[in-house]
Amino acid sequence: MIRGLYTAISGLITQEAKMDVITNNMSNVNTAGFKGDDLKIKKFDDVLLQSYDRLKGKGAGKTTIGSISLGSRIDETTTSFEQGEIQTTGKQTDFALDGRGFFTVQKDNGTSTQKYYTRDGNFHVDSKGTLVTNNGDAVLDSNGNSINVGSNKFSSDAEGNITIANNETSVKLAVVDFNTNISTNNAYKNLLKVGDNLYTSNEVAQTSNAAVRQNSSEKSNVNVITQMIDMMNTMRTFETNQKVIQAIDQTLGRAVNEVGTVR
């Protein structure tokens, strides 16, 4: 009976974690370039149950009853890198990638050379004339430098070449990809979410073949209807485990207070 209590509690823990993932997906449904997550749950290894009875005129006999599950546990959290819908915004600082790939950015903390990757191309120009993300991270060019456009108008072609008006200079956006010969989700298995819609990777970045779309933005790939269905199923599973715990608790209470006092 106590074993059943632990099994039900493991169900509560995993469903609570799954709800956290769903909630995060729902809260980012309007975040440009956001990729939804999915929590994978697996069960603990089954345990074989056997009974031992003393047979008449013989020693102990062993009878196999069957196997029992010891509950569920969190396996891993996977990210779907399916491309979201690309919509036209009309803003020259908005960019979207049509195909596999990521923009390369760098945080401005004075010393770090750590590069980050994002699908969120909703950029803007800061007070120094530098092209940055909404969090102030510098957008890098193919040489690893920040892109300064000043107060000038600029345009980009499908290869990410940015031409800045007036001074007629041109730089190329650093658009990279990983494991280009592997299917999308498996190629990004070593990509780690670090918050602010950014990723890091220990893989060597490669040149991306994605087409750069200026004046456009990629929407989140989160499907609201699917997330709502998952949320309801998760809540029902959580409630079921709660009822199992309550039933076990009531049974244990009766065993202690009623059966245990019988003389």
59 versus 35: the higher-pLDDT residue is 35
122 versus 8: the higher-pLDDT residue is 122
Supply the pLDDT for residue 66: 77
pLDDT digits (tens, 9 = 90+) for 69-105: 778 888 889 999 999 999 999 999 999 999 999 999 9
Question: Which of 86-100, 153-167, 199-213, 232-246 has the weakest average pLDDT?
Answer: 153-167
Please provide the DSSP assignment of 19-63 as one string.
HHHHHHHHHTTTSTT---EEEEEEEPPPEEEEEEEEPTTSSEEEE
Per-residue confidence band for 225, with pLDDT thresholds at 50, 70 and 90: very high
pLDDT at 132 over 60: yes
For residues 176-196, average pLDDT: 90
pLDDT digits (tens, 9 = 90+) for 2-48: 778 888 889 999 999 999 999 999 999 999 999 999 999 888 777 77
Supply the pLDDT for residue 188: 92
Percent of all residues in the chain with a pLDDT value above 70, rounded to a whole number: 92
Per-residue confidence band for 260, with pLDDT thresholds at 50, 70 and 90: low
pLDDT at 109 over 70: no
Supply the pLDDT for residue 3: 76
